[in-house]
Structure 1
Amino acid sequence: MVRETEVNQKDQTILEFRNVFKTFPKSLHPSIQDISLQIRKGDIFGIIGTTGAGKSTLLRFANLLETPDSGKVFFESEDISSLNGKELREHRSRVGMVFQQSHLVLNRKVFDNIALPLKASGWNSADIKHRVTELLSLIGLEDKINSYPSQLSGGQKQRVGIARAIANHPTLLLCDEPTSALDPETTRSILSLLKDIHEKFSITILIVTHEMNVVREICDSVAVLEKGKLIESGSVYSLFADPSQEITRKLTGNVFNYSIPEETLARTNGRILRIVLKNEIATEPILGKVIRATNIVPNIIHSKIEYIGGKPIGVFYLETDLDDQAETIRSAFVRYGAFVEEIFK
C-alpha cells in the first residue's frame, strides 16, 4: 500500500532525472555523470555551474533535445526517456524553451514568430490571433506585431522568444542562459517578465545560468553542477546562507561577499570572530542580547546584511582583546543560534 505522503510527494514532482549519464563523441569525460534530481511542480529551479559543467545538457534532457546514454527522465511521473514520433511531439508541446539567443525566424514578423508553435499544433486562425495578441500585451510589445526581428533590440527579441515558448500553454518552461547576452537593466526586465509568467500561469520554470544574481533574483531552488556531477542542491536561501561545497562558495561569493576587507583586517590586533545570522535569527537583536548577557562590548569592525528570497542573512565581524572574552562571546552567540568562527590573519 502506498502511503499518502508518498503520493503527495509524487504529485509535487513535475520533472525527475534518475541516474542519468551522457558522454559526447571524442570527449574524454562524461558531460553528465550519474545525476539524480527532482524538480517540484510550481518551482522556479536553477541549475548553475561554470562553463562546461553540463548544465545545458541536463536541461535538454527535459524535452529530449539531448537524450541520456543511460538513466531515466520522468515528466509528470511518466518515463519519457525513449519517446519518439507523435508521443515526442506531444511531449514537447507541453514543454516550452527559451534559448540564450532568441532563435527567431528572421524573415518572419513578430506575429508569425509567436504563432509558429500554434500553427504546428493545428490552432485555427481566430484562436491564433487572439493568443498572439494576448501574449504581445503580456510582453509589452503590442506595437511590434508587424516588425521583423532585425528591427528589435536584444531584450525585445528575447521577449518575443519567451512569448513563443509559452504560446501553447506549456506546464514546464526551460530557459537556457536567457539573460547572458543582455545588459543588467534588460536582464532585470526579463527576469521580472519570467516571474510574472510563473505567477500568472503557474508554469514551472527550469533555468540554466552561470549568473548568481539571476539565481538570487528569481529561483526558489537550485542545483550546482561541476564537471558533469551534481555537487549540491537545495533552496536558494540555504545555498547562499550555508554552502557546503567549495565550488558553491566560490560561485555565491561574487554576489554576497562574506570576507572582511583586507585594509580593515590589517588594522586589528585582537581576535576576530565572524558571526553569521540566518533565518528568523537575523531579524532579532542578537548583539544586544549578547552584550547584556556577557557585559562585554566588542568592537564591530565590519558588517553586512543581504536578502535572499525575501529572507535576511546577516554577517558581522567582532574584535576582542582578551582570549577569555572571545570565548565568552562565542558561547553566547552560539547559544542564541548564530554560527561563529574565528578569522585568522
Structure 2
Amino acid sequence: MVWKEEVNSNFENILEFRNVSKAFPRSQHPAISDISLSVKKGGIFGIIGTTGAGKSTLLRFANLLESPDTGNVFFEGKDISFLSGKELREHRSKVGMVFQQSHLVLNRKVFDNIALPLKAAGWTKEQIQRRVQELLKLIGLEEKIHSYPNQLSGGQKQRVGIARAIANHPRLLLCDEPTSALDPETTRSILSLLKSIHKKFGITIVIVTHEMEVVREICDSVAVVEKGKLIELGSAYSLFADPSQEITKKLTGAVLDHSIPEETLARTTGRILKVVLKDEVATEPILAKVIRATNYVPNILHSKIEYISGKPIGVFYLETERDESSTETIRSAFARYGAQVEEVYR
C-alpha cells in the first residue's frame, strides 16, 4: 500500500519510517526488519545499538543513500521513498549529513570543502564567500580557511564536516557516529557545537551512536535497534531510568553503574537497600523525610546523581539493621515519598 499525504507546513514529524525493511546479500539477518518510527520536528533524536545492529542503514534511508526494499520513508509529510533525478537532488539539499570520518576532499582547502554544496546549488561567488565565512566563525576556525584537511586535527576536520553539512540551510541534519573517532574532550566540544547549531537554527538532528555519553548529553528521544529490529523507543531519560529490554539495560548500564564498591560491601553487616530517585523526587530531601518519619538513621554506603537530558536520576545505597521489621519500615517510607526501593543481596 502506498501512503499519500499532502505536504503540511504544520507537520509535527519531520521524518517518518513506515514498515521499512532492507536485506543485504550474505547477511545472517535483515539489516532493517519492519521498522516504524517518527522523528519530531525540532528535536535531537538518537539511534543506538551495538555494531552491526542496522542503525546506520536506517539513518541513510532519510537521504536515500540507502533505499528500503519495502516500506516507505516520509519527509515533511511527503513520501520520498522513490525519488530520483532532480527531485532526489532537491530533497538532499534539505538534509545535511555528518560522517564518522568527516569525508573531506583532501586536495581541497577548508574554504572549498565547505563551499562544495553551495556551488552545486548555484550560489554566486559573493554569496558563497559570505556563507563560508559565517560558518567558519560559527565553528571557530576562521584562521583555517586556506588549510588543507591533512593540516587539521580530527576535531577540526569534524567541525569542517559539520559546517559543510549545514551550509545549504538544511532542515534535517544526519550524524553518523560523529564522535566515535575522537577523544573525550574533543567529543564534548563537538556535542557542544551540535547543540549550539540546533538551538540557533532550529535544525532537527538525528544522530547514530554507540556511545551512551553522547545520548545522555544531547538526545531528547532515542530508538534502540538490535539485529535490524526496533527494540525500544522513548525519551532519553526514560531509556536510562527505566530500560525495559535487556539490550537497552546493557547499553545504558555503564553510564548509570552505581553498584557498591567491593571494599565497601565487605565492611557491611546489615541489610542493604538500593534507592532510586527520578524526576522531581531526585531533587527533594527524601532521606531527611524518611529519617523524621521512621526515627531510623540508616548508614549511607554509596550515592550518586546523574543528569540525563538535564533531568536528575539519584541512586544511593543504605545499610539498615539486620532485623526485617526496621528494614521494611524504611522501605515503606521511601516508597511513600515516590522512591523505588529494592533490597540488594550479597
Name the TM tier (shorter chain). over 0.9
**Structure 2 letter corresponding to 1:217:** E
- Would the aligned equivalents of 2:99 and 2:175 in 1 still touch at CA under 8 Å? yes
**Aligned equivalent of 1:93:** 93
Q: How does 1:176-325 map to 2 (within 5 A)?
A: 176-321=176-321, 322-325=323-326
The two structures, once aligned, show a CA RMSD in angstroms of 1.4
The corresponding residue for 1:173 is 173
CA drift of 1:28 comes to 2.1
Shift of 1:14: 0.5
Residue number in structure 2 paired with 1:61: 61
Give the TM-score taking structure 2 as reference length: 0.95
AA of the residue aligned to 1:291: I
> Residue type matched to 1:213 in 2?
E
1:271 Cα shift?
A: 1.9
Q: Shift of residue 341 of structure 1?
A: 1.1
* Structure 1 segments of 4+ aligned residues over 6 angstroms from their partners: none
Q: Distance in 2 between matches of 1:185 and 1:258?
A: 23
C-alpha distance in 2, partners of 1:270/1:252? Answer: 30
Looking at structure 2, the residues matched to 258 and 84 of structure 1 have their Cα atoms a distance apart, in angstroms, of: 51
CA distance in 2, matches of 1:131, 1:244: 46
- CA offsets, 1:168-217, max 9 Å, x none? 00000000000111111111111111111111110000000111111111
Counterpart position of 1:341: 342
Q: Could you tell me how far 1:256 is from its partner in structure 2? A: 1.8
Equivalent residue for 2:151? 151
Describe the SS at the equivalent of 1:302: strand
Letter of the 1:53 counterpart = A
Q: CA deviation at 1:32?
A: 0.9
Q: Secondary structure at the match of 1:11?
A: coil
- 1:165 alignment partner AA: A
How many residues are matched?
A: 338
2-structure distance, mates of 1:149, 1:196? 24
1:76, distance to aligned residue in structure 2 (A):
0.6
Q: Aligned to 2:36, what secondary structure does the other structure show?
A: strand
CA contact (8 A) 2:258 2:303 kept: no
Q: d(CA) in 2 for partners of 1:36 and 1:265?
A: 45
Q: Partner amino acid for 1:317?
A: Y
Structure 1 window deviating more from structure 2 (309-318 vs 173-182): it is 309-318
Residue identity in the other structure for 2:189: S
Superposed, 1:37-56 pairs within 5 Å as: 37-56=37-56
Q: 1:147, 1:101 → 2: CA distance? A: 18
Residues of 1 paired with 2:153 and 2:57: CA distance?
Answer: 28
Quote how far apart the aligned CAs of 1:284 are.
0.6
Shift of 1:293: 1.1
Determine the structure 1 residue equivalent to 2:4: none
Counterpart of 2:329 in structure 1 is 328
TM-aligned CA deviation for residue 236 of structure 1: 1.2
Question: What is the TM-score of this pair, normalised by structure 1?
Answer: 0.95
Offset from partner CA, 1:7-59 (integer Å, 9 cap, x none) = 99x72211111111111011121111111111111111111111011110010
Equivalent in the alignment of 2:24:
24
Aligned-residue offset at 1:109: 1.0
Structure 2 residues not aligned, in runs of 5+: 1-6
State, as a whole percentage, how many aligned pairs show the same letter: 80
> Residue type matched to 1:136 in 2?
L
> Aligned AA for 1:328?
T
User: Shift in Å at residue 269 of structure 1?
Assistant: 2.4
2:278 counterpart letter in structure 1:
K
